[in-house]
């Protein structure tokens, strides 16, 4: 009996020892959990899962971080607010600056020929009418030769006719002198009663007849010259018209007729003022009307081509204002409007092509420049927080919301449009809540340390 009592007493003592050990272990664990790091002033705590039932904006679990007052002062903790604002909503896209195709001119030649001289270079600013190249054309050479030959033939015929008329006129002038002398002599004889009245009338009639003949020859000569002019005009006008169509000016045609020399060279002139953006011809090349020679662009107005993601397609339409930025001018904004929205989605990229027309004062925007564009799609009332409050957490974003004392909640949020110093928040905070701005990086570092 005594032996049994001793064994039971031993078991009870053993159980009491176990209970004391467990109690000490629990107290030690609690102390470690709430132990303050005297070096950093941070009250350490493990992650505290919390479902956001009291915050409709929560995106999932939150982490509670605690900072002592001393650590908060060292971090310089400052706060901002989640506020509802009436802001311009924008769709952000990237794109490329292009030349305005409506303001580009492709230069061709009206003739077939060989290039003998190129007078401009890419990048040259030229005015309308500027000579760009010279071409030697066999078509022009043949047409000018035909022009001179046809005119020469008419002039030769005129010369022959005038020689005959002038010969007849000389004979008529001699005849009229004779008939005038005869008339005067017979008139004196009639006065002396030597010649008859019939002789007088006959000499007078002959003299009048000879005068009429001479006048007729003079009129014939004038008429022959006028007829030759009309014939020259009639026979040469088709050739002149052909030369004009081939690019030969009226002044050049007159010079050919004046000098009687064929000039087979024709200049190609700039049809518009602008900048030579493309040169497609060299000296010695054979060109024709189907071959483009130059491209002249007016870059005072350019296009911006971009692709809008499918989720934003319903927001964009023609006529909306845009704001454009390029890296070359980081502190300058360019404005314009959408002038084209494609009718269908690109099946490969799942994007919609849009284009904006942008004034380009000073020709700062160059074709092929990379650009960032905001399409202003209208005003919206949105919930925003300071951009400085947002920290990266892997592939997501977080903010830190004070919940009293030394405690902060690490909230996972979903962002919308960026408005510079403010950013739209779609989920994670409520209007009026405070968020840490300055010092949010320190809180993120502490969260990573605890993880």
48-to-84, 409, 430 alpha-carbon distances in Å:
30, 10, 21
If one counts every other C-beta atom within 10 angstroms of the C-beta of residue 419, the result is 16
Return the minimum-mean-pLDDT range out of 8-12, 91-95, 131-135.
Answer: 8-12
Residue 175 Cα to chain centre, angstroms: 84
Tell me whether strands 113-118 and 131-136 are parallel, antiparallel or unpaired: antiparallel
Residue 61 confidence (pLDDT) = 57
User: What is the mean predicted confidence (pLDDT) over 47-58?
Assistant: 40
Residue 86 confidence (pLDDT) = 78
Residue 3 confidence (pLDDT) = 36
Measured distance CA(88)–CA(34) in Å, rounded: 48
Decide if pLDDT at 388 tops 70.
yes
Percent over 70 (pLDDT), the chain: 86
User: What is the mean predicted confidence (pLDDT) over 400-423?
Assistant: 87
Measured distance CA(187)–CA(248) in Å, rounded: 67
Return the minimum-mean-pLDDT range out of 2-11, 107-116, 169-178.
Answer: 2-11
Decide if pLDDT at 385 tops 90.
yes
Decide if pLDDT at 165 tops 80.
yes
Residue 20 confidence (pLDDT) = 40
CB burial readout 144-171, b (16+ within 10 A) else e: bebbbebbeebeeebeebbeebeebbee
Measured distance CA(106)–CA(278) in Å, rounded: 9
pLDDT in tens, 54-86: 343 444 457 888 878 888 888 888 999 999 887
pLDDT in tens, 325-338: 999 998 899 999 99
Using an 8 Å Cβ cutoff, are 18 and 381 in contact? no
Return the minimum-mean-pLDDT range out of 12-16, 86-90, 136-140, 409-413.
Answer: 12-16
User: What is the mean predicted confidence (pLDDT) over 111-134?
Assistant: 93
Mean pLDDT of the chain: 83
Decide if pLDDT at 116 tops 80.
yes
Tabulate helix, strand, coil % of the chain (nearest 5): 40, 30, 30
Percent over 90 (pLDDT), the chain: 44
Whole-model pTM? 0.52
Decide if pLDDT at 303 tops 90.
yes
pLDDT band for 186, please (50, 70, 90 cuts): confident
Burial class (CB in 10 A: 0-12, 13-18, 19+), 268: buried
pLDDT in tens, 8-38: 444 334 444 444 443 443 333 333 333 334 3
Measured distance CA(23)–CA(402) in Å, rounded: 35
If one counts every other C-beta atom within 10 angstroms of the C-beta of residue 88, the result is 14
Using an 8 Å Cβ cutoff, are 294 and 280 in contact? yes
Residue 139 Cα to chain centre, angstroms: 38
Residue 373 confidence (pLDDT) = 92
């Amino acid at each position: 009996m005594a032996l049994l009592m001793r064994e039971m007493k031993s078991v009870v003592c053993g159980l009491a020892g176990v209970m004391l050990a467990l109690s000490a272990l629990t107290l030690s664990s609690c102390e470690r959990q709430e132990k303050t790091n005297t070096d950093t002033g941070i009250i350490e705590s493990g992650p505290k899962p919390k479902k956001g039932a009291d915050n409709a904006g929560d995106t999932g679990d939150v982490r509670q971080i605690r900072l002592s007052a001393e650590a908060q002062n060292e971090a310089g903790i400052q706060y901002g607010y989640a506020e509802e604002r009436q802001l311009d909503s924008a769709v952000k896209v990237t794109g490329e600056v292009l030349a305005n195709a409506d303001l580009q001119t492709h230069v061709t030649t009206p003739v077939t020929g060989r290039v003998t001289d190129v007078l401009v270079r890419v990048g040259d600013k030229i005015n309308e009418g500027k000579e760009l190249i010279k071409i030697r054309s066999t078509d022009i050479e043949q047409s000018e030769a035909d022009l001179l030959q046809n005119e020469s033939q008419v002039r030769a015929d005129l010369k022959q006719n005038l020689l005959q008329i002038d010969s007849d006129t000389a004979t008529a002038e001699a005849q009229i002198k004779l008939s005038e002398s005869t008339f005067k002599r017979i008139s004196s004889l009639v006065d002396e009663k030597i010649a008859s009245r019939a002789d007088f009338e006959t000499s007078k009639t002959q003299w009048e007849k000879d005068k009429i003949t001479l006048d007729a020859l003079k009129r014939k000569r004038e008429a022959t010259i006028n007829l030759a002019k009309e014939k020259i005009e009639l026979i040469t006008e088709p050739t002149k018209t052909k030369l004009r169509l081939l690019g030969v000016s009226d002044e050049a045609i007159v010079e050919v007729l004046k000098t009687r020399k064929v000039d087979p060279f024709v200049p190609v002139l700039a049809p518009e003022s602008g900048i030579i953006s493309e040169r497609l011809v060299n000296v010695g090349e054979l060109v024709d009307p189907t071959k483009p020679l130059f491209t002249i662009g007016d870059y005072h107005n350019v296009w911006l081509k971009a692709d809008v993601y499918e989720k934003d397609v319903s927001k964009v339409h023609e006529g909306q204002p845009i704001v454009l930025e390029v890296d070359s001018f980081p502190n300058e904004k360019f404005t314009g409007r959408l002038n084209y929205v494609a009718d269908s989605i690109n099946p490969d990229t799942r994007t919609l092509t849009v284009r904006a027309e942008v004034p380009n004062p000073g020709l700062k925007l160059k074709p092929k420049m990379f650009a960032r564009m905001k399409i202003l799609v209208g005003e919206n009332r949105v919930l925003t927080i300071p951009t400085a409050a947002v920290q990266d957490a892997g592939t997501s974003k977080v903010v830190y919301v004070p919940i009293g004392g030394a405690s902060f909640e690490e909230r996972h949020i979903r962002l919308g449009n960026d408005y510079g110093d403010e950013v739209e928040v779609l989920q994670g905070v409520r209007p009026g809540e405070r968020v840490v701005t300055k010092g949010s990086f320190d809180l993120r570092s502490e969260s990573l340390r605890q993880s």
